[in-house]
Chains A and B, each alone.
Chain A
Amino acid sequence: MTNPPYVMQKLWLYLYFPSLQLDTLLQQSSDKNIHKQAYIIFDEAKNQACQLNKAAYQAGIRLGMGLGTASMLKADLQVIPYQEKITTNKLNNIAQDLYLATSDICFFSDNGLLLRVHNMLNLYGNLATYWQHIKHILETQNVHFHYATGHSPLAAKLLAIKAWDHITDNQKYIKKAVSQCKLQHTELPLKAIQKLNRVGIHNIKDLLNLSLADIAKRFEIDIVTYIGRLTAELSHPVNFFHPKPYFDQIIELLFDVENIQILQKPLIQLLSRLEQFLKERDLLTQTLNIYLSQREHKPIELEIHSQQGEHLAKRWETLVCLKLENITLNSPIFGIQLVASKTFIRCPDEQDLFTSKQGTLSSLQLTSMLQAKLGKDAVLSPILNDDYRPEQTTLLNQTSPKTAINVSLFALRPSFLLTPPQRLQEKVYLTSGPERIETGWWDSEFIIRDYFVAYNTVGQWYWVFKTPHNKWYLHGVFS
């Protein structure tokens, strides 16, 4: 006897974040007393409070209140305007993190995420284990959330917004909970709800008692669609999220910052997120771009390089701090964006365990550090160029070359060169020479020079040359 094929029941998990912007802003502050202060996020377009913290709730402020009522209830209320960007950003970050535990994530609304659970259960075995993983990730995000499972995306959402906070795959239990919901919690337009109320329908249960065909006859099509999707009779197409392959995060500051020192703290927060991102994927990055958004000026762009490639926040922190020392702020900073667009897989480097070195840097780390402080043009590594003209033999590179070019070398060259060569002003004694260099006819710097080694009256060794016009120049010093 064979078992009947196992039919997978569809199951969705909805995560509802009631105060994403507020949580994001408040978690920047290390001050523990900040939660005693009442904060609301105020939506100016709708003229109502859309997010609030516990202190505000205790003062009697509720969602949907106007600014006047809210400020009457609490005198020292802090009001922050609603910015959709912050919420979307944070939601994106949460989705990025959740992606490590679950594959199908959908941005279902601007403050909630929808996860497709049923196909992940093969991996996790049962729902409890799955939820444990998801919950663990959410707790590290340090935001308030409500959750619920449902047999359709809309059912899960409805229950989560109602703060049902249950994880179950029992269809009966879910349906019972859904049917008890009031119409106000649904996504139906206000007009439709009023219409339904007028005919005595106040909750989902009343609505579900009617057949879909009857509803279609009497009411608008969107009510039918909603009910159909809620009961999973109609399919509900959703677009799933694909994580970005690179790191790009923004921090909006709780208050404007004019001091570079204060900027370091949120930057460290961003860098430790970068570290986590890179560590989870076993990646390194060589370049970080930091954009500091200024209130009244163009954003400051910083590019920080590490020749070796790093993932540790601590190492990046020193480089960033060195870079920050060199900039001046024209106007206050309100946001920081950190982008690490190019990453590569880390390969462990070999180190001798028994060398008695006390310094901790590798040569590439040292170069990166020097370049961060002094600028890229100040730290150079010389390479040889295949040219007979002395001034073109040495090229200065910003990164250390991997392969050495084979160049024919000449004996008797000075250690220092004067650029450009200067007219010889003093009396010298020639000791060896001439060595004629006549080259460069293919470009504008054609030279015919007879080089001599010479010394002057105080015993300094010079490299001098004579042009065909009998003019003498000092070109180098044998230091």
Chain B
Amino acid sequence: MHPTINYLKNKNLLWQANHTDHNKKNELHTGYQELDNALQGGFPEHGVIDVRSPLGIGELRLLLPSILLRQRQDIAELTTLIAPPMDVNAEMLAEFGLSLERVILIKPSSAQDTLWSTEQSLKSGCCHSVVIWHSCLSVAQTRRLQLAAEKGNCLLFIIRQPNQEHISLPVSLGLHLSPDKAGINAQITKRKGAFSKKSFTINMHHYWPEICQLQHSNVITFPLRASQTG
């Protein structure tokens, strides 16, 4: 760079187009009223969100409305799904409204490749949301992913099993999910600039009325916390 330009930049006398003040700091709505209330707005604009949840209780469905919102807002082009535990059913994603040509699916063969592709996707600047299914993460790895997410203005969701040993990871938001009759039970375990609160129920009836246990069913209630102890 020309020394004069450098000098002016250091003195803060030069305005650059990419330094435009993005005032739209308002956070993105999650699509669920209860979660929005608990988060006082919604998910952060970028960063790492640690979701600890058993498989198949609606953890992906909880994230889909905000991913859809980000796709529609055109923050960046791609949604990346990395190392899903089973085959992703594209019909469900398409039915929910995601445009599939802007979704890529990565199936790395090793844990190292998973983290590598996550970091590359995050910092590329062309992904708005990345979802990874990955169990063991160290503090250093999370920190690295957090920095990459900030660089690429991207939101990373890490979905992992709740029975993994609990170390406090440097993430923007930590969620602990458990099943519930009406939808899903969530507890915010970690959040930047706020205290964690008691758990609350997120009603998913609005999006998926069929995937809720009917109120008038004659099924006996089962212990909700069973998944955490097992």
Contact = CB atoms under 8 A, between A and B. Distances in A.
A356 B20 contact: yes
A458 B113 contact: no
Interface string A399-435: 0111010010111111111110000000001011000
B210 interface: yes
Interface in B163-222: 178-180, 208, 210-214, 217, 219, 222
A182 B214 CA distance: 108
A6 interface: no
A194 B14 CA distance: 81
A353 B61 CA distance: 35
B124 interface: yes
A478 B208 CA distance: 10
A479 B90 contact: no
Contacts of B219: 429
Q: Is the interface of B mostly helix, strand, loop or mixed?
A: mixed
A457 B226 contact: yes
Interface stretch (B26-34, B35-43, B97-105, B135-143): B97-105
Given A370-B117, A373-B116, A359 B153 contact: yes
Given A411-B95, A453-B210, A419 B87 contact: yes
Contact of B152 (A359, A407, A419): A359
A409 B227 contact: no
- Residue from B92, B100, B212 whose CB has the most chain A CB atoms within 10 Å: B92
Contact of A378 (B100, B103, B109): B109
A407 B91 CA distance: 9
B78 interface: yes
Contacts of B44: none
B230 interface: yes
B84 interface: yes
Contact of A354 (B20, B91, B152): B20
B144 interface: no
Interface string A361-389: 11101110110011001111111100000
B91 A410 contact: yes
A412 B93 CA distance: 11
Interface in A103-138: none
A417 B89 contact: yes
Kindly state the interface size class of chain A when it binds its partner. 35 or more
A356 B213 CA distance: 45
Nearest to B222: A457
A363 B120 CA distance: 11
A373 B77 CA distance: 21
A358 B46 CA distance: 13
Nearest to B224: A459
A353 B18 CA distance: 8
Contacts of A413: 89, 91-92, 95
A462 B19 CA distance: 48
A231 interface: no
Nearest to A375: B109
Contact of B126 (A354, A356, A363, A414): A363
A454 B213 CA distance: 9
A232 B108 CA distance: 70
A416 B116 contact: no
Nearest to A404: B101
A460 B54 contact: yes
Contacts of B17: 353-354
B126 A366 contact: yes
B146 interface: no
A459 B211 CA distance: 11
Interface string A444-459: 0000000001010111
Nearest to B62: A479
B117 A374 contact: yes
Contacts of B22: 356
18 contacts: A359-B123, A366-B126, A373-B113, A380-B105, A382-B105, A384-B91, A394-B88, A407-B94, A410-B91, A411-B95, A415-B61, A416-B85, A416-B89, A417-B86, A459-B222, A461-B58, A478-B211, A479-B56
Given A360-B125, A411-B210, 10 more contacts: A356-B22, A358-B152, A359-B152, A363-B78, A370-B106, A378-B109, A411-B95, A416-B85, A457-B226, A458-B227
Interface of B: 17-20, 22, 54-61, 76-78, 84-95, 99-109, 113, 116-117, 120-121, 123-127, 151-153, 178-180, 208, 210-214, 217, 219, 222, 224, 226-227, 230
Sorted nearest first, the 9 A-B pairs with minimum C-beta distance are: A359-B125, A459-B179, A460-B56, A382-B90, A416-B86, A394-B90, A477-B56, A479-B60, A361-B124
